[in-house]
A and B are shown apart, each in its own frame.
Chain A
Amino acid sequence: ETGVTQSPTHLIKTRGQQVTLRCSSQSGHNTVSWYQQALGQGPQFIFQYYREEENGRGNFPPRFSGLQFPNYSSELNVNALELDDSALYLCASSLVGAAINYGYTFGSGTRLTVV
């Protein structure tokens, strides 16, 4: 059973640029959610994808967008990068439809630095 894999592990971008982060779900999972974690803070929910559609979103502007593919992998896209976008971006996969105590498996994250 494979875990959640995120790529790249580290990334440096310039303000105003666009970035794409990738996430491969754990085998058997069908839902992917993305989180932004600033240094010293807890993760903040960005959005969640189920069956290739966004079915939940946190308090993030539209320049944060995503995709989920038929194999349940996912991408997070951020346009017009701002300095405050510098953070650890976490992806978590889970199985919707199982018992309520289904688990979330997190990837190791992508560390994005905007300069």
Chain B
Amino acid sequence: KNQVEQSPQSLIILEGKNCTLQCNYTVSPFSNLRWYKQDTGRGPVSLTIMTFSENTKSNGRYTATLDADTKQSSLHITASQLSDSASYICVVTSFSGGYNKLIFGAGTRLAVHP
């Protein structure tokens, strides 16, 4: 069964600190892995996207890593800001049956406190 699991479920950090979110997946076939940021009641916004051949991808203070062998990914947030408070969702794309299917993790809810 295609699954994407994220940890921790929730996280509280102080402003200015770094944090790392984890994503493990069992999806086949694998096309790419994306990290999204979702503010409460809003649609997800893309942060990074990586294919199996990419090990790391940065977008400002966000750095994603991918280990296609162990099927693990991480999202590292540097020098956190209050506006980073949101859910971070790991999404794996699988191409099968003639179309791309997005398999979402449940997300990590990050709260950044002053």
Q: How large is the interface on A (under 10, 10 to 19, 20 to 34, 35 or more residues)?
A: 20 to 34
Q: At the interface, yes or no: B61 with Cβ under 8 Å from chain A?
A: no
User: Is B44 a contact partner of A56 (Cβ separation < 8 A)?
Assistant: no
User: Is B104 a contact partner of A42 (Cβ separation < 8 A)?
Assistant: yes
Q: List 21 A-B contacts (CB under 8 A).
A: A35-B102, A35-B104, A40-B106, A41-B106, A42-B89, A42-B104, A43-B44, A43-B104, A44-B104, A50-B99, A56-B97, A56-B101, A58-B101, A100-B31, A100-B51, A101-B49, A104-B102, A106-B43, A106-B45, A108-B42, A111-B41
B41 contacts which chain A residues (CB < 8 A)? 88, 108-109, 111
Q: At the interface, yes or no: A27 with Cβ under 8 Å from chain B?
A: no
Q: At the interface, yes or no: B60 with Cβ under 8 Å from chain A?
A: no
User: Is B106 a contact partner of A42 (Cβ separation < 8 A)?
Assistant: yes
A residues whose Cβ falls under 8 Å from a Cβ of B: 4, 6, 33, 35, 40-45, 48, 50, 55-56, 58, 88, 90, 92, 94, 96, 100-101, 103-104, 106-109, 111
Known contacts A42-B104, A55-B98; is A101 also within 8 Å of B44 by CB? no
User: Whole-angstrom distance between the alpha carbons of A106 and B102 in the complex?
Assistant: 12
Interface residues of B in 1-51 (CB under 8 A from A): 4, 31-32, 34, 36, 41-46, 49, 51
Known contacts A100-B51, A103-B49; is A109 also within 8 Å of B42 by CB? yes
- Provide the main secondary structure of the chain B interface: strand
Known A100-B32, A109-B41; further 5 A-B contacts with Cβ < 8 A? A4-B43, A42-B105, A43-B44, A43-B89, A92-B43
User: Whole-angstrom distance between the alpha carbons of A35 and B34 in the complex?
Assistant: 16
User: Whole-angstrom distance between the alpha carbons of A35 and B36 in the complex?
Assistant: 15
Nearest B residue to A3, CB-CB: B43
User: Whole-angstrom distance between the alpha carbons of A45 and B102 in the complex?
Assistant: 7
B51 contacts which chain A residues (CB < 8 A)? 100-101
A-B CB proximity, top 10 nearest: A106-B43, A42-B104, A56-B99, A42-B106, A43-B104, A108-B43, A106-B44, A55-B99, A107-B43, A108-B42
User: Whole-angstrom distance between the alpha carbons of A104 and B92 in the complex?
Assistant: 12
